[in-house]
Amino acid sequence: MKKYSQLLTISCVLIGLSAAVISCDKSISEPQRVGYTPASIDDKAGTWKTYVLTAPTDVTVATPASVTSAAYLAEVADLKSKSASLTQEQQEAVVYWGTGAVYRWNEIARELAARYNVPPASTADGKYPVPDAANPLADPRFPFANPPYTARAFAYLSVAQYDALVAAWNYKYTFKRSAPSKVDATIRVALPTSALPAYPSEDAVVAAASYTVLKAMFPGEVPYLDAKLAEHRNSRLWAGMNVMSDLNAGGDLGNQVAAKVMARAKTDGMSAANNQALTAGMIADAKARGLSEVWVSQETPARPPMLPNYGAVQNWNFDAATKVKLRPGPPPAIGSPEFTAALDELKTINKGQTREQARIANYWADGAGSYTPPGHWMRTAANAANDAKYSEVRMARTLALVSTALMDAGVCCWDTKSFYYYPRPQQFGMKTSVGLPNFPSYTSGHSTFSAAAAVVLGSIFPDQADDFWAKAQEASDSRVYGLIHYRFDCSAGLACGKNIGAYAVARGKADGSGL
């Protein structure tokens, strides 16, 4: 009872702080989440199928010291000292990280995506400089975390977390070293405990894997990530949850897995995603297929299209041949009755847009300075898994399935955009107030991303499937209400995203989790 009284006290402190923050910042509308005892510890997760690792034993962990050894008893004594009395700052760190390692690092990734989702400005000579990964804080900053870039960052982050946790679960049940508080009941713990073995620490695993991936994706944020990594590890000591050897083993394991995952990232084709030299051939091919008017940038000076070759990046849940099969059929010919009807719908909305249509268009805009549509759906997924009180490994599985589907959706959508090179409604007189994307129109990225994510989430949380799909439909409609997509852009995007999500669902059903 004493342990939970302390937890309650800390939680109340944080809730109070959250209320104070909310009173000052009207943009925060969600309640602060706190730690919980998982509904299941998923003791068989060490056998689940991984993405990059061929087996959990692709990485190694040293055999831990016995709980009766002098070395371990010394660690327990140190833990008692660190957890006996906490400062206000340490208590807040314990509660913050106690919400969940996977949850918090995904939240950090979303924050970084929003911070870096800023397109480069033009120079005096009318050109747009390309961000430089080797000099990330120079103008323009690297990366420009647009939706395709952000979807890929989430996918690598979530895969690294998931593969590392599956390996960690394997070693936890190989060594079966109990949590320190199970060995010595006098240790003060500040978070809910479970029967999960403590070695290696799942929090340290996630922290190390996340740190490595995010450092590569956002190289200008190393000092910030260094601080988060240190605070996360220390929070486990302050909370009385892990001894130092639990943390060191977890950190070592997480680093090994992240290195393997990032080795894939270096060869997935992203380095050629912004190859602007390919656009002339894309345009020529589209015209050869009968397109009478191609997409052109509406910015002044004209901006090169965003990542025109992103459609060639490697997918997660199917191969390149399947990607071509998933590509939607051609959009209506310019001037055809179907095209004219779609343009007339936009003209009608333009003349009499309702307040509800405007609200939907702005709510789902997720433009510059936001964590993009993929981030929107990662938040939805993380909150759903948190509400279900998932274990760390099941939370990671959920986010890996959703994020790989989101990246697959981005790759397929950009493949389609570059293939058809279809003009935006703005080339036919439409104006917009939600920000005009600088790449071809067909198909809608919002629709493709949203359908893929909704299908995956609906399979994991079937009682919420209708709600997820309603959100995807609304996200799709928002682009029509925003006057930047024709209805057929969105319908084709929804259908394609639905098919893409089905591949992730099939993978999930075959990963050995029984879910």
Distances (CA, A) of 226 to 144, 161, 241, 305: 22, 18, 21, 34
How far is Cα 170 from Cα 36, in angstroms, rounded to an integer? 23
pTM, 2 dp:
0.94
Crossing angle, helix 372-387 and helix 147-175, to 10 degrees? 30
Does 147 lie in the same domain as 96?
yes
Q: Which of 214, 247, 266 is the last residue of a domain?
A: 266
**Is position 50 within any domain?**
no
Q: Dihedral sign, CA of 329, 332, 338, 342?
A: positive
Of 266, 286, 315, the domain-final residue: 266
Cα separation, 208 vs 212, in Å, equals: 6
Residues 173 and 280 in one domain: no
Distance CA 397, CA 51 (A): 10
Q: Distance between CA atoms of 10 and 16, rounded to whole angstroms?
A: 10
Number of structural domains found in the chain: 2
> Taking the CB of residue 312, how many other CB atoms lie within 10 A of it?
19
User: Does the residue 235 lie in any domain?
Assistant: yes
Which H or E run contains 418? helix 392-420
**For residue 515, what pLDDT is reported?**
75
DSSP string, 340-377: HHHHHHHHHHHHH--HHHHHHHHHT---TTS-HHHHHH
The confidence score (pLDDT) of residue 30 equals: 62
Asked if residue 143 and residue 69 are part of one domain, the reply reads yes
pLDDT band at 296, cuts 50/70/90? very high
Say whether both 113 and 96 belong to one domain. Answer: yes
CATH number of the domain where residue 103 is located: 1.10.606.20
Distance of CA 201 to the CA centre of its chain: 23
Say whether pLDDT at 7 is over 90. Answer: no
Burial class for 511, CB neighbours closer than 10 Å (0-12, 13-18, 19+): buried
- φ/ψ of 5, rounded to 5, equals -65, -40
Mean of the pLDDT values across residues 473-485?
98
Q: How confident is the model at residue 501 (pLDDT cuts 50, 70, 90)?
A: very high
Residues 230 and 100 in one domain: yes
Which of 245, 266, 287 delimits the end of a domain? 266
Peptide bond into 143 cis (omega under 30): yes
Q: Is the pLDDT of residue 81 over 80?
A: yes
Residues 306 and 289 grouped into a single domain: yes
Given this model, what pLDDT does residue 29 score? 56
Same domain, 115 and 177: yes
Q: Does residue 14 sit within a domain? A: no
> What does the pLDDT look like over 371-423, one tens digit per residue?
999 999 999 999 999 999 999 999 999 999 999 999 999 999 999 999 999 99
On whether residue 8 sits in a domain, the answer given is no
- Based on the domain organization, do 374 and 492 belong to the same domain? yes
Of residues 351 and 515, which shows the higher confidence score?
Answer: 351
C-alpha–C-alpha distance, residues 476 and 409, integer Å = 14
- Does the residue 74 lie in any domain? yes
Residue 53 domain flag: no
Residues 188 and 218 in one domain: yes
Contact 482, 376 (CB under 8 A): no
Tell me, yes or no, whether 21 lies in a domain: no
CB 96 within 8 A of CB 17: no
178-229: pLDDT as tens digits: 999 999 999 999 999 999 999 999 999 999 999 999 999 999 999 999 999 9
Q: What residue numbers bound the domain in which 168 lies? A: 62-266
Residues 245 and 310 in one domain: no
Clarify whether residues 93 and 229 are in a common domain. Answer: yes
* Whole-number pLDDT of residue 8: 39
Indicate whether 176 belongs to any domain.
yes
